[in-house]
Copies of this chain bind each other. A is one copy, B any other.
Amino acid sequence: MFDSITIVGVGLISGSFSLALKEKRLAKNVIGISRTEASIKKALELGLIDESLPLKEAVEKSDLIYVAIPVDATVTVMREIMDMITDKQIVADAGSTKNVLCKSLADHPMRKRFVATHPMWGTEYSGPEAAVRDAFVGRSCVICEKEKSDKDAVETMENVYKQLGMHLVYMDADAHDVHAAYVSHISHITSFALANTVLEKEKEENAIFELAGGGFASTVRLAKSSPAMWAPVFMQNRENVLDVLNEHISQLRKFKSCLEKENYEYLWELMENANKIKRIIV
């Protein structure tokens, strides 16, 4: 049980993390950090945090500092935080990319107090109002470069995520970023692009509104996601994302070619192959 933790960022992930820790009685006091005064006010109102302090004071008071802000800002803020801590404290992040951050902290004298984590949960919403109870339950949490963190720090974070109902997966930062490109980042890009496709081509918006069913809503919902959060993810992981995006465009071209050539058999084959995803996504 932590006496005090700091969450840097008071949004979807950090807010849900705080709610879960409070519910499991894992944290007595939660300090919130945000550049946006309105977010702090909202987070206090919603009970996501107990107080807000300047970063230095917050870090001093905290057993755990949990960073969940855009991954570009994370790199900068994380170095500041790591410069402030003692070897009794733990720092963890929740970012969707791991390579850039881990590299940037590789030589930091306090590296061992940092645990690189990625709880694989989220929604298309952001800000303090997006925080929900019972987030994370049943989902995976990736821990990267476990061997570069102190044993007690890793065990503490493992324990926290397990109590939140997550199962743990271990990999190095490179592997994480490759996998994340496949199972998360590309989904966001296809969804953003699909929204732009429909918005571009369909001028009679009422017709979309009237007709759009559950299938469309499901494939396009990630297009509501925050550019502030996701643009830095795509940029930090651009090589992997480009690989998957190229493959995806080439898969779409196969469908295009089937339709152009009225190649019914190959179309069927492509769809039957796609059905194999049933084995993976129940």
Contact = CB atoms under 8 A, between A and B. Distances in A.
A38 interface: no
Interface residues of A, number: 93
Contacts of A175: 207
Given A180-B211, A224-B278, A271 B205 contact: no
Contacts of A171: 207
A160 interface: no
Interface stretch (A13-21, A39-47, A85-93, A190-198): A190-198
Contacts of A235: 259, 262, 264, 267
Contacts of A245: 252, 255-256, 259
A106 interface: no
Interface string A180-192: 1011101111111
A113 B222 CA distance: 43
Given A221-B218, A271-B231, A200 B251 contact: yes
B213 A252 contact: no
B231 A276 contact: no
Contact of A187 (B205, B207, B220, B242): B220
Contact of A252 (B183, B189, B202): B189
A64 interface: no
Contacts of A268: 227, 231
A279 to B, nearest CB: 8
Contacts of A244: 197-198, 201
A239 to B, nearest CB: 9
A271 B192 contact: yes
Contacts of A234: 255, 259, 267
Contact of A211 (B179, B217, B231, B270): B179
Interface of A: 120-124, 139-140, 142, 167, 169, 171, 175, 179-180, 182-184, 186-202, 205, 207-225, 227, 230-231, 234-235, 238, 241-249, 251-256, 259-260, 262, 264, 267-268, 270-281
27 contacts: A121-B214, A182-B202, A183-B208, A187-B219, A192-B255, A192-B270, A192-B271, A193-B248, A193-B254, A193-B274, A195-B274, A196-B251, A196-B273, A197-B244, A197-B247, A197-B251, A198-B277, A199-B274, A205-B279, A227-B271, A231-B267, A234-B255, A235-B267, A242-B256, A242-B260, A245-B259, A249-B249
